[in-house]
Amino acid sequence: MNPRLRLQPEAIGVGMTSQRVRDRLIERLRETGIRDERVLNAIRTVPRHLFVDEALATRAYEDTALPIGHGQTISQPWVVARMTEALFEDGHEPKRVLEIGTGSGYQASVLAALGLEVHTVERIGDLLRVARKRFRSLGLNVRSKHDDGRIGWPENGPYDGIVVTAGAPALVDALTEQLAPGGVLVAPVGAANAQQLLMLRKEADGTISRRDLGAVVFVPLLSGTIG
């Protein structure tokens, strides 16, 4: 767990991207109910300011979503922490994880920093190319694919965990089918202005149990690919 990231000087941060500012974010996450110290340490370690435009770097450690272009956002740190923490609840120890919606690459990097085997799919080519550069610069072994996230990545499944970082009116059957027995899927489900973050567990007999983790707002999960 927590493989050492390859941190260049720009990743260390100064001023509003310094370690002190990152530590304040971690304290806020604790205050809002995040308890898994492994997850908190991964968020403390991964330099979020490298996943946003330089003009927004001073806001990187605020607990808020930020734009990354193409109508997409980097998720609020609390949401990243809660979705990641859910993968480990009730003693579950995932090894292979699928992310739908690479975006900036931040969520995938947090998962990789936890020592997980990460597979991530992104439909917007421009975003994926930039995310891949970030993975390489941080020395993270994240497997990525430019494709329609709604179909997942079945040839590398089944997965112990699936994280969906875009909202849909209903769960996508193709994704739940790629979940291993005992695996956990975390996804925002519902209309654009009324999404709930759901945690699903596939039982040994193939049935799905679910828990509601609270209200969230995500960009929509769209089909097809761009660029």
- Mind telling me the catalytic residues? 75
Environment class of 192 (CB within 10 Å of its CB; exposed 0-12, middle 13-18, buried 19+): exposed
With tokens 């260049």, the residue in question is: 8
Q: What are the beta bridge partners of residue 197?
A: 188
Q: Which of 91, 90, 13, 77 is nearest to 39 (CA)?
A: 77
Distance CA 7, CA 14 (A): 14
Q: Which two tokens stand for residue 178?
A: 């790629």
CA distances from 131 to 54, 87, 127, 178, 186 (A): 15, 23, 6, 24, 22
User: β-strands 159-164, 194-202: how paired?
Assistant: unpaired
148 Cβ contact partners less than 8 Å away, ≥ 6 residues apart: 121, 123, 223, 224, 225
User: DSSP secondary-structure letter at 156?
Assistant: G
Distance CA 192, CA 54 (A): 29
